[in-house]
Amino acid sequence: MKVTEKDVAYVADLANLELTGEERTGMLRDLNCILDYIDRLNELDTSDVPPMAQVSDRYGVDESKQGSERFAYASREDVPDGLRKSLPHAEALANAPDPDEDFFRVPKVIER
């Protein structure tokens, strides 16, 4: 078994999930089952294979350049006024569960 109950609690914490006791048991079983299946990737020797992060690497990238210059194809001229207008204040707040007139409100972050 790869994943332990402790791992499930740790990963849930990283992912900002609460998970009930029942959910944790199910998660433990499912993650182990899926990871067992995923283990077949170790049949392949990939020591000389470069990783592929995204398909866009395959078009437009200038391999002779370094860093962000490689992705110059995706850049565009700056548009000082923006490609579209910013949302009006009220519209930006319209879907918030607890806004006041100006801001998104959240529970207290720092306890005094």
Partner 1 sequence: MDLTSLTIDAARSAVQERKTTALALAEAHYARIQQEDSQIGAFLTLSKERALEQGDRIDRMAAEGKPLPPLGGVPVGIKDVMSTRGVRTTAGSRILEKYIPPYDCTAVARLEAAGAVILGKMNCDEFAMGSSNENSAYRPVRNPRDLDRVPGGSSGGSAAAVAADMAIVTLGSDTGGSIRQPASFCGVVGLMPTYGRVSRYGLIAFASSLDHIGPLAKTVKDAAIVLRTIAGRDPMDSTSADVPVPDYVAELDRPVRGMKLGVAKEYFGEGLDEEVRQAVEGAIEKLKGLGCEIVPVSLPHTPYAIPTYYLIATAEASSNLARFDGVRYSHRARGVKTLSEMYRRSRDEGFGTEVKRRIMLGTYALSAGYYDAYYLKAQKVRTLLTRDFDAAFQKVDAIVTPTSPTAAFRLGEKSNDPLAMYLADIYTVTADLAGIPGISIPCGQTREKLPIGLQILGKHFDESTILRVAHAYEQGA
- Chain residues that interact with partner 1, rule: CB under 8 A: 3, 7-8, 10-12, 14-20, 23, 26-27, 30-31, 33-35, 37-44, 46, 49-56, 58-60, 73-74, 76, 83-84, 87, 91-92, 94-98, 104, 106-109, 111
Nearer to partner 1, 58 or 102 (CB): 58
Asked if 30 contacts 49 with a C-beta cutoff of 8 angstroms, the reply is: no
Residue environment code for 91-100, b if the CB has 16+ CB neighbours within 10 A, otherwise e: eeeeeeeeee
| Min dist. Cβ of residue 64 to partner 1 (A) | 19
| Min dist. Cβ of residue 111 to partner 1 (A) | 8
Packing angle of the helix pair 21-38, 5-14 (nearest 10 deg): 100
